[in-house]
Each structure stands twice: as structure tokens, then as C-alpha cells.
Amino acid sequence: MGGVLVTGGAGYIGSHVVRQLGERGEPVVVLDDLSTGRAGAVLHGDLVLGDAGDTALVRELLEDHQLDAVMHFAARTVVPESVSDPLMYYGENSCKTRALAGAALQAGVRHFIFSSSAAVYGIPDHIPVAEDDPLYPINPYGTSKLVSEWMLRDTASSGPLRHVSLRYFNVAGADPEGRIGQSTPEATLLIKVACEAATGQRDLVPIYGNDYPTPDGTGVRDFIHVEDLAAAHIRCLDYLRGGGASTTFNVGYGHGYSVREVLDTVERVSGSQLPVREEDRRPGDPPALVANTERIRRELGWRPGHDDLEEIVSTALAWERKRCEAWA
């Protein structure tokens, strides 16, 4: 028995993990409803069109393919949308995680890697924030992820399922070879939005808030290249298969950049001036969010290979230019 079920594996982060799993010869089954993902982004394994909350389907896939692990990426992820429609987020994120974990247990799967978020911290008391710091999500998206973490924690404490929850910070960039990247329509991730504007796909880049208690008044975030994030998932899989106990890891670089610093970098790399408009703060956005990454470095030996803002921007920009050429 071996191999991985990847829910949401046709999406941005999931597709990069699927590619890395496939490149090391891992059997992979991708389950995705293609609501935001693309079939063309799945470069390895079998793609099954379906819902991560479909318990019967999930159990059938796990048993028929004799898979021993689940990586769960399928989720709604837009903070302002979660504020306006919280019940959808609890349904899509928390309830479907519960259904998926239940199906995994029924099928005898013991390894579960969950895509969580730094949004569980809310507005931290200090920066960088560590895994054991207080959890005070300030939006339904963050709360839906925290509820899922709690369900997995309690399930692991009462049975054989072991899990890792990975709290992502701000994911950006694309496959350095340009095969896959962020293709979600109307994406809200800053570097994605800025690179779309640099390539003429957007009319402007909004700056949400210029009065935060940060050096230049704009929000500060810890940006991590999607390739490094994907590699962390592979490390977690090996960790669980090696008998590792259930745990939680931050995944970031441990330092942050402000919105203005990011936009300056996109302008420098692209050689074009961005159309920027300052707007009011968005509901649910903390002033700063930077990871303490000591635990994942110590326990998994994880070391980022792409910790460079210009590299992150360059790969994201190359991906957007490729998309534009495909449409031309």
C-alpha cells in the first residue's frame, strides 16, 4: 500500500505538490471539482472529477488505488469572501475536511497532511509568530481552518490517524520551468495581481490600507515560493510514514515584505510602472504576519531553496507572460 490522494490537486499549490510527488515516482490520484483548478495543471497521476466531501467516492479511491496518505488542499481561500459568506466557508472548508478525514479512517489510511493557514493567528501579539502562540482568527476563513485543525487533532488523539497541519504564509511564484503556475480566475494574491497588471491583464493594483503600524503603512507579509512550500509537503509525507507524531508546522521564510516593497520589486523586475490605487483596509486583514519557522527546520530538516523576492516575482511574471502568449 502506497501513494497519495491529493484533493484540490489541480489548483495552484496542489498542482505543484502533485508535480513533485510524480517526479519522485509516487503514485498519485488527484480529486478536484475544477471549480478553480485546471485539468492541464495535473502533470502526474490520475485526475478524478469530484468533491472532497463525497465520502463514498473518497473511500472508493483510497481503497481501489491502495493509497496510504491524503494531502488535503481543496478549500475556499478568499478572506473578504469568507467575511461576506461565512457559512459557505464553514461548509466548504470545515465540514468537507471532517468528511474527508472520516473516509480516510474508514479506508484504513493513517497519514493526513492538511493545508491550513497563518490566518489562524489573527493579529499576533508579536512577530514572528510560532506554532504555540495564541490562535485568534479574525475572519471566517481563518476560523474554518482552525476548526479543521481541531478536528484532526482530536481525531488523532482518539485513533490511528496521524496528521500534519501546515500553516501557510503568503504563497507566490510559479514552477521555475514554467510548466504550471497560479491560474485561478480573479485571484487576490498580491504578487499574482501585480504581475497580471504588469502584463496588461489588470487595470490596477489596489493597496488595501496605508495606515497600518508598519514602516511604510502598508501590510507586511511573509512570502514563500510555491516550490519551497511543495517541498515541505514531501518532507511531511516522509515524516509521517517514518512514524512521526501528529504536529503542526509554520511554512514561511521568517521575514516579511510590505505591500509597497513587493510592488517596487515587481516594477523593477518587469521594467514597467504599475497602475496603483490606494483603498481602505479590507475586513479581516492583520497589519503584519511573519512566520517563526524554527520547528519545521529543526524537526524536518526543511531548508528553503528559493528565499529571494526577486526570484519569486520573476517566476510569477514569467508564468503570466506565458499565459498572455498562449492567448495571443
- CATH label of the domain that carries residue 232: 3.40.50.720
Active site residue 141: yes
Q: Do 314 and 210 share a structural domain?
A: yes
Give the integer Cα–Cα distance in Å for 86 and 81: 8
- Give the residue among 6, 21, 158 at the shortest CA–CA distance from 69: 6
Report the side by side order of strands in the sheet with 220-221. Answer: 257-258, 220-221, 288-289
Tell me what pLDDT residue 133 has: 98
Determine how β-strand 220-221 pairs with β-strand 257-258: antiparallel
Q: Do 275 and 202 share a structural domain?
A: yes
Give the integer Cα–Cα distance in Å for 203 and 197: 6
Give the integer Cα–Cα distance in Å for 224 and 32: 24
Taking residues 222-240, what's their average pLDDT?
98
Which pLDDT band, with edges at 50, 70 and 90, does 1 fall under? low
pLDDT in tens, 195-221: 999 999 999 999 999 999 999 999 999
Q: Do 267 and 228 share a structural domain?
A: no
148, burial (CB in 10 Å: exposed 0-12, middle 13-18, buried 19+): buried
Tell me what pLDDT residue 282 has: 83
Does residue 141 lie in a domain region?
Answer: yes
Q: Do 39 and 154 share a structural domain?
A: yes
pLDDT in tens, 46-59: 999 999 999 999 99
Give the integer Cα–Cα distance in Å for 248 and 120: 12
Q: Do 246 and 110 share a structural domain?
A: yes
Does residue 109 lie in a domain region?
Answer: yes
Tell me what pLDDT residue 286 has: 85
Give the integer Cα–Cα distance in Å for 3 and 275: 46
Tell me what pLDDT residue 166 has: 98
Q: Do 168 and 34 share a structural domain?
A: yes
Q: Do 234 and 275 share a structural domain?
A: no
Does residue 121 lie in a domain region?
Answer: yes
Domain boundary among 199, 234, 251: 251
The residue from 89, 90, 121, 141 that is catalytic is: 141
Query: Quick check: 104 and 269 in contact, CB under 8 A?
Result: no
Tally of domains within the chain: 2
Does residue 51 lie in a domain region?
Answer: yes
Domain that holds residue 132: 4-172+223-251
Does residue 179 lie in a domain region?
Answer: no
pLDDT in tens, 14-24: 999 999 999 99
Q: Do 315 and 217 share a structural domain?
A: yes
- Dihedral pair phi/psi, residue 139, rounded to 5°: -145, 160
**Res. 130: pLDDT tops 80:** yes
Does residue 88 lie in a domain region?
Answer: yes
- CATH label of the domain that carries residue 210: 3.90.25.10
Does residue 289 lie in a domain region?
Answer: yes
DSSP 236-302: HHHHHHTTPPPEEEEES-S--EEHHHHHHHHHHHHTS---EEEEPPPTT--SEE-B--HHHHHHH--
Does residue 185 lie in a domain region?
Answer: no
Q: Do 212 and 149 share a structural domain?
A: no
Q: What is the mean pLDDT of the chain?
A: 96
Q: Do 216 and 116 share a structural domain?
A: no
Number of neighbouring beta carbons within 10 Å of residue 99: 16
Residue 110: all three cell numbers together: 493513517
**Res. 62: pLDDT tops 70:** yes
- Dihedral pair phi/psi, residue 42, rounded to 5°: -85, 100
Q: Do 95 and 35 share a structural domain?
A: yes
Q: Do 165 and 28 share a structural domain?
A: yes
Question: What share of the chain in percent tops pLDDT 70?
Answer: 99
Tell me what pLDDT residue 34 has: 96
